[in-house]
């Protein structure tokens, strides 16, 4: 039919095979090929039924996302789905791998669906800011009922073949070879004169829906979908499906799909889809760079981070040895790990056997020699350069040649740490985010001498433990924390100017941040910020700089752990309560420092925090500490609770317009001077040329 779609006949059954690697996206040429193959099958007098299958690793994984920005070529997917459904010969979809989005919609056009037991099906469009636009919102409720269809489309999560079979999406599970099994199934159906079943002929059974079902459903998903554009439109489509015939419902679905596709949110989420895959590509480290095998892991320090990191590896099935200074610290650390697992078990996320198995993989130690046969050692002791240098000198003495030596430092100079060993090429930063066993991000810090093999190994380690590894350069705070520092500076300066911390948090959260910066500080511990900033080599000579943290620290307000910080906390509670005492302290301090109080509106709160962040991002990019703007976005979305639907700070800057961002930076420079608000040259250049960060190439 064409290079991407093949037609053949096997014992009376037409077999249409789509072969568009890597994931059989149903691109324009594939759609053309399928239409031609269907015509041929219709005209083929010796073909009594049709099987649609895919070559390679998966059934159709959806529309080709890279085509969304181009004009839609004919035939479009809805035409293909409706042509399949309208066939007079029985059509069977043969599914392996993942049938996602347009892939599942294609299968829903078929009259029967069979699948391997390992297959998964789903409608993940919502994750791209879209809704299923090839009649999925109209067909799925007809097939599985309103609530099950909504759950699949709102979560975007694929389900297993077994579950799909239970719901009626899959009719037959095939064992052995899928194509042979599907052909045999089609023959059986023909032999039994099975009817041609068309979903368009089914009505949605809305009679059993409780009164107010849709209002209640909206309420139920409100928290999880806060700020997102597509979910409400998915609900609208399903409401439509309960009232209108499929063709009419599909027309309205198409309108809402186009709205979603044109939304800045969808552009942002599609950007992240590709950015999260591109981070794995490092220009000077080819894909075939050898990786060192990692079978045993050592961790130094069983504190907040060391314990969480140990869990990451135990969860992946790797044995871990955790080294501490004394038995009490070790017991405390391992006790916390056990408690965390038990909490998971009590919530039904782990079985008791799994808790035992994972704890069984974690072993405590007090002697350096216990790390002698580790393939990877991760240091997670206090954030103190001298201490880390000592630890690395000791690791150098005991670890076997070829072991990867990593530090979880969040700010310190990796090269200084590497120089404490005689093997700086084996030293790398693995910067986890708290809680380490939960947060997806892993910043992988490349030192001046880190070898390509060690970098490739670290990228592989991220995959093993289910993290998104992003390679960054060695500078104070690396990418995430260096940018966060700018945001914090403005946040605290605005507090001296009269904005209460809780208002800043509220505005940030309404803007989409998972948590406001002051709540984050109370959670992480204000003392950590204070100590880390004291060690900073480039501290500005400015008494107002992050002064509020220092002030709270001086008053013993370290955050949740002391029951007070930016907020106060009732005994045993984590609910932040605004504290007039804090307001008074800050007001008095502002007076002492001579900072004028002024009215600041919500727009300024957002601009000052995020323009400061973006400007720093541009400096980081130019300096090469991040490889691509998308890498910065991936870091912020996966490590700092930046709203996914804004695509990350650099993509957000593009959406605002770089001219506008630059004008804002210049405005604050006019008011506060050059020290913090000098525009990054890259921002200036791109704004002048009408460019974007995401379109920029080094």
Residues classed as catalytic: 105, 125
Tokens describing residue 392: 């690395």
Structural contact between residues 142 and 246, judged by C-beta atoms closer than 8 angstroms: yes
Neighbours of 491 (CB within 10 A): 27
Is residue 301 a contact residue for ligand NAI (CB under 6 A)? yes
Is residue 130 a contact residue for ligand CAA (CB under 6 A)? yes
Is residue 277 a contact residue for ligand CAA (CB under 6 A)? yes
- Strand bridging mode 427-432 / 441-446: antiparallel
Taking the complex as a whole, the smallest distance from the CB of residue 567 to ligand CAA amounts, in Å, to 39
The residue range among 43-51, 131-139, 204-212, 552-560 that interacts with ligand CAA, by the rule CB under 6 A, is 131-139
Which of 410, 437, 492, 564: binder of ligand NAI (CB under 6 A)? 410
Is residue 391 a contact residue for ligand NAI (CB under 6 A)? yes
Structural contact between residues 294 and 335, judged by C-beta atoms closer than 8 angstroms: no
Is residue 629 a contact residue for ligand CAA (CB under 6 A)? no
For residues 237 and 377, which CB has a smaller minimum distance to ligand CAA in the complex? 237
3-state secondary structure 231-262: HHHHHHHHHHHCCCCHHHHHHHHHHHHHHHHH
CA atoms within 13 A on the CB side of 461: 35
Taking the complex as a whole, the smallest distance from the CB of residue 530 to ligand NAI amounts, in Å, to 13
The residue range among 160-168, 262-270, 299-307, 662-670 that interacts with ligand NAI, by the rule CB under 6 A, is 299-307
Tokens describing residue 190: 């023909």
The binding track of 508-537 with respect to ligand NAI, each residue x by CB under 6 A or -, is: ----------------x-------------
Which of 323, 377, 420, 618: binder of ligand NAI (CB under 6 A)? 323
The binding track of 84-113 with respect to ligand CAA, each residue x by CB under 6 A or -, is: --------------x-xxx--x--------
Structural contact between residues 586 and 548, judged by C-beta atoms closer than 8 angstroms: yes
Is residue 253 a contact residue for ligand CAA (CB under 6 A)? no
Closest residue to bound ligand NAI by CB: 303
Which of 38, 115, 134, 182: binder of ligand CAA (CB under 6 A)? 134
Is residue 62 a contact residue for ligand CAA (CB under 6 A)? yes
Taking the complex as a whole, the smallest distance from the CB of residue 26 to ligand CAA amounts, in Å, to 7
**Is residue 197 helix, strand or coil?**
coil
Neighbours of 633 (CB within 10 A): 31
Task: Determine the Cα–Cα distance for residues 34 and 75; give it in Å rounded to an integer.
Answer: 10
Task: Determine the Cα–Cα distance for residues 623 and 625; give it in Å rounded to an integer.
Answer: 6
| DSSP code of residue 84 | H
For residues 51 and 513, which CB has a smaller minimum distance to ligand NAI in the complex? 513
Which of 33, 129, 132, 480: binder of ligand CAA (CB under 6 A)? 132
- The set of residues, in sequence order, having a beta carbon less than 8 Å from that of 30 and lying 6+ positions away, is 4, 5, 18, 20, 24, 60
Taking the complex as a whole, the smallest distance from the CB of residue 69 to ligand CAA amounts, in Å, to 12
Task: Determine the Cα–Cα distance for residues 631 and 278; give it in Å rounded to an integer.
Answer: 8
Burial class, 693, CB count within 10 angstroms (exposed 0-12 / middle 13-18 / buried 19+): buried
Is residue 64 a contact residue for ligand CAA (CB under 6 A)? yes
End-to-end CA distance of the chain: 41
The residue range among 280-288, 298-306, 311-319, 470-478 that interacts with ligand NAI, by the rule CB under 6 A, is 298-306
Is residue 20 a contact residue for ligand CAA (CB under 6 A)? no
For residues 291 and 544, which CB has a smaller minimum distance to ligand CAA in the complex? 291
Written as one string, the DSSP assignment of 258-326 is HHHHHSHHHHHHHHHHHHHHHTT-BTTB-TT--------EEEE--SHHHHHHHHHHHHTT--EEEE-SS
Tokens describing residue 107: 């299968």
The residue range among 63-71, 468-476, 568-576, 594-602 that interacts with ligand CAA, by the rule CB under 6 A, is 63-71
Structural contact between residues 63 and 105, judged by C-beta atoms closer than 8 angstroms: no
Task: Determine the Cα–Cα distance for residues 407 and 437; give it in Å rounded to an integer.
Answer: 17
**Is residue 355 helix, strand or coil?**
helix
Taking the complex as a whole, the smallest distance from the CB of residue 574 to ligand NAI amounts, in Å, to 16
Task: Give, as ranges, the residues between 364 and 393 that touch ligand CAA (CB under 6 A).
Answer: none
Residues pairing with 567 in the sheet: 578
Taking the complex as a whole, the smallest distance from the CB of residue 95 to ligand CAA amounts, in Å, to 13
For residues 133 and 301, which CB has a smaller minimum distance to ligand CAA in the complex? 133
Is residue 408 a contact residue for ligand NAI (CB under 6 A)? yes
Taking the complex as a whole, the smallest distance from the CB of residue 409 to ligand NAI amounts, in Å, to 5
Binding site for ligand CAA (CB under 6 A): 22-23, 25, 58, 61-66, 77, 98, 100-102, 105, 124-125, 128, 130, 132-134, 274, 277
Binding site for ligand NAI (CB under 6 A): 300-306, 323-325, 329, 333, 380-383, 387, 391, 408-410, 432-434, 524
């Amino acid at each position: 039919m064409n290079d991407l779609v093949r037609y053949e006949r096997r014992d009376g059954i037409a077999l249409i095979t789509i072969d568009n690697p890597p994931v059989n996206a149903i691109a324009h040429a594939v759609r053309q090929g399928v239409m031609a193959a269907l015509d041929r099958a219709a005209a083929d007098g010796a073909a009594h039924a049709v099987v649609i299958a895919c070559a390679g690793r998966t059934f159709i994984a959806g529309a080709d996302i890279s085509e969304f920005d181009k004009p839609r070529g004919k035939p479009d997917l809805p035409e293909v789905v409706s042509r399949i459904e309208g066939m007079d010969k029985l059509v069977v979809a043969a599914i392996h791998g993942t049938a996602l989005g347009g892939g599942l919609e294609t299968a829903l056009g078929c009259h029967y669906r069979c699948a391997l037991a390992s297959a998964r099906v789903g409608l993940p469009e919502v994750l791209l800011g879209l809704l299923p636009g090839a009649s999925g919102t109209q067909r799925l409720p007809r097939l599985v009922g309103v609530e099950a269809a909504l759950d699949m489309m709102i979560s975007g999560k694929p389900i297993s073949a077994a579950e799909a079979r239970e719901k009626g999406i899959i009719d037959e599970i095939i064992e052995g070879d899928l194509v042979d099994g599907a052909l045999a199934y089609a023959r059986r159906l023909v032999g039994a004169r099975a009817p041609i079943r068309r979903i368009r002929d089914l009505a949605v059974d809305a009679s059993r829906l409780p009164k107010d079902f849709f209002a209640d459903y909206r309420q139920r998903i409100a928290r999880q979908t806060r700020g997102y554009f597509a979910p409400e439109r998915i609900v609208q489509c399903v409401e439509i499906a309960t009232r209108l015939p499929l063709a009419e419902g599909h027309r309205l679905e198409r309108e809402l799909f186009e709205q979603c596709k044109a939304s800045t949110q969808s552009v942002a989420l599609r950007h992240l889809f590709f950015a999260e895959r591109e981070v794995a590509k490092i220009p000077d480290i080819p894909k075939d760079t050898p990786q060192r095998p990692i079978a045993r892991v050592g961790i130094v320090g069983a504190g907040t981070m060391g314990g969480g990191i140990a869990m990451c590896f135990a969860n992946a099935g790797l044995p871990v040895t955790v080294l501490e200074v004394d038995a009490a610290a070790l017991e405390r650390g391992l006790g916390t790990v056990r408690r965390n697992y038990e909490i998971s078990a009590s919530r039904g996320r782990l079985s008791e056997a799994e808790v035992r198995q994972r704890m069984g993989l974690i072993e405590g130690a007090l002697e350096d020699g216990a790390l002698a046969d580790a393939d990877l050692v991760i240091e997670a002791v206090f954030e103190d350069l001298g201490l880390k240098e000592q630890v690395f000198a000791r690791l150098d003495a005991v670890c076997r040649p070829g072991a990867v030596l990593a530090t979880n430092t969040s700010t310190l100079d990796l090269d200084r740490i590497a120089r404490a060993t005689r093997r700086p090429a084996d030293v790398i930063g693995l910067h986890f985010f708290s809680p380490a066993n939960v947060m997806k991000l892993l910043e992988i810090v490349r030192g001046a001498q880190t070898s390509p093999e060690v970098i490739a190994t670290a990228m592989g380690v991220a995959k093993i433990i289910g993290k998104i590894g992003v390679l960054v350069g060695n500078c104070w705070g690396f990418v995430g924390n260096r940018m966060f520092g700018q945001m914090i500076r403005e946040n605290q300066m605005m507090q001296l100017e009269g904005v209460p911390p809780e208002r800043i948090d509220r505005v940030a959260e309404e803007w989409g941040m998972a948590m406001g910066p002051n709540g984050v500080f109370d959670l992480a511990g204000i003392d950590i910020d204070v100590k880390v900033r004291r060690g900073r080599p480039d501290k500005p000579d400015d008494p107002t700089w992050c002064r509020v943290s220092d002030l709270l620290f001086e008053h013993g307000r370290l955050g949740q752990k002391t029951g007070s910080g930016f907020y106060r906390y009732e005994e045993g509670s984590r609910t932040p309560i605004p504290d007039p005492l804090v307001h008074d302290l800050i007001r008095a301090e502002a007076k002492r420092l001579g900072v004028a109080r002024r009215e600041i509106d919500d727009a300024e709160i957002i601009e000052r925090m995020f323009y400061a962040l973006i400007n720093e991002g541009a400096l980081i990019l130019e300096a090469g500490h991040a490889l691509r703007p998308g890498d910065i976005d991936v870091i912020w979305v996966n490590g700092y609770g930046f709203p996914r639907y804004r695509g990350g700070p650099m993509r957000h800057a593009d959406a605002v317009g770089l001219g506008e961002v630059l004008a804002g930076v210049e405005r604050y420079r006019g008011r506060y001077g050059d020290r913090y608000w000098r525009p990054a040259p890259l921002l200036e250049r791109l704004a002048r040329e009408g460019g974007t960060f995401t379109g920029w190439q080094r």
